[in-house]
Amino acid sequence: MATKMIHHDGVTIPTTRGGRGRPLVLCPGLNSTQADLHELTALLRHDYDVTTFDLRGHGLASASDRYSFDAFLSDLVAVLADLDLPTAPLLVGYSLGADLAVHYASERPDAIAGLVLIDGANPLPEPFITETDQAEFRALADELAQAAEQNKGTAHQVLLTAQHIHALNREIDVVRSAILDRYRKIDHPITMIMSTSIAGTEGRAPRHNRLWRTGVERLVRERPHTSTTWLDADHRLVFTHAPHIAETIRKLPGC
């Protein structure tokens, strides 16, 4: 396993590379680290040369005074620019990482071989977080920030505050409202692996789950050749269904 530190934009981004086969880059999401994705990574390395990394403020990456979609996108750009790969990689993103992957692919179409998007990058027809949802999502951000305290100083740590997390979730809503235009610039194969119950089952979850499916259906109407796999899971599917996800990726045409 090869590890490397990439320095850019005042932050240090750790990367880890290992495995055999075609190159694959795995981009984590908000509140997830490459250490969290260890099961999926290990499975993928049976068939791919896999590079993982941490976004700023996550895992072993350094903290930053700037947490925004564009800042995280710059981390992905820096990682891919630093890699010396024999061919363009399959780019896999989870949650926010999927949105970052779509934006990267739309701006650098020749730099990737295809996209696998895990429970993210959904072209939602309306925002997830309405005024009615504000309190619920603020409480969720508080829970995530409090839970992160026990991981301080480890490869699983997340340094973002509850305010950062809530602001980023609202920003992601805005990003997804316009992401369909990004998809129109991508000719590569796209595979989506999505949860049927992204928001679970309680409270306003039924609305969010319906909206999640509606967004994917919207994309498939726009891009009929988009491949979609639905898993009976919530947003933790990358942890609870890692073998299924790895097998889906392994069976992709040409992979």
Q: Where are the beta strands (DSSP E) in 98-226?
A: 114-118, 190-195
Q: What's the pLDDT at 145?
A: 83
Pick the range with the lowest mean pLDDT from 31-40, 53-62, 185-194, 246-255. 246-255
At a CB cut-off of 8 Å and minimum separation 6, what does 179 contact? 99, 102, 103, 121, 122, 123
- With b for 16 or more beta-carbon neighbours within 10 A and e for fewer, the 41-60 pattern comes to bebbbebbbbbbbbbbbbbb
Domain tally for the chain? Answer: 1
What is the per-residue pLDDT for 254?
62
Q: What one-character DSSP code corresponds to residue 21?
A: S
Q: Is residue 215, in this structure, part of any structural domain at all?
A: yes
Report d(CA 5, CA 47) in Å as an integer: 25
Q: How many CB atoms lie within 10 A of CB 154?
A: 11
What pTM, to 2 d.p., does this model score?
A: 0.96
Cα–Cα separations (whole angstroms), residue 13 to 25, 37, 173: 14, 16, 26
Domain membership of residue 40 (yes or no) is yes
Query: What is the DSSP annotation of 209-222?
Result: HHHHHHHHHHHHHH
- Whether 133 shows a pLDDT value over 90: the answer reads no
Least confident of 20-29, 86-95, 148-157, 222-231: 148-157
Considering the domain boundaries, does residue 180 fall inside one?
A: yes
Report pLDDT digits (tens) over 9-60: 999 999 999 999 999 999 999 999 999 999 999 999 999 999 999 999 999 9
More confident: 115 or 128: 115
Closest of 118, 104, 93 to residue 182, by C-alpha: 104
* C-beta neighbour count of 246 within 10 angstroms: 20
71 pLDDT tier (thresholds 50, 70, 90)? very high
- Compute the average pLDDT of residues 172-188: 95
* Mean confidence (pLDDT) of the chain: 94
Does residue 126 belong to any structural domain of this protein?
yes
| Domain membership of residue 147 as a residue range | 2-250
Tell whether the model's pLDDT for residue 255 goes beyond 80.
no
Residue 82 lies in a domain: yes
Distance between CA 100 and CA 96 in Å, rounded? Answer: 6
pLDDT per position as a tens digit, 225-238: 999 999 999 999 99
pLDDT at 177: 95
The pairing of strands 48-53 and 22-27 is parallel
Decide if 131 is inside a domain. Answer: yes
**Closest among 208, 59, 50 to 127, alpha carbons compared:** 208
CATH number at residue 178: 3.40.50.1820
Domain assignment present for residue 255? The answer is: no
- Tell me, yes or no, whether 127 lies in a domain: yes
Average pLDDT for 231-246: 97
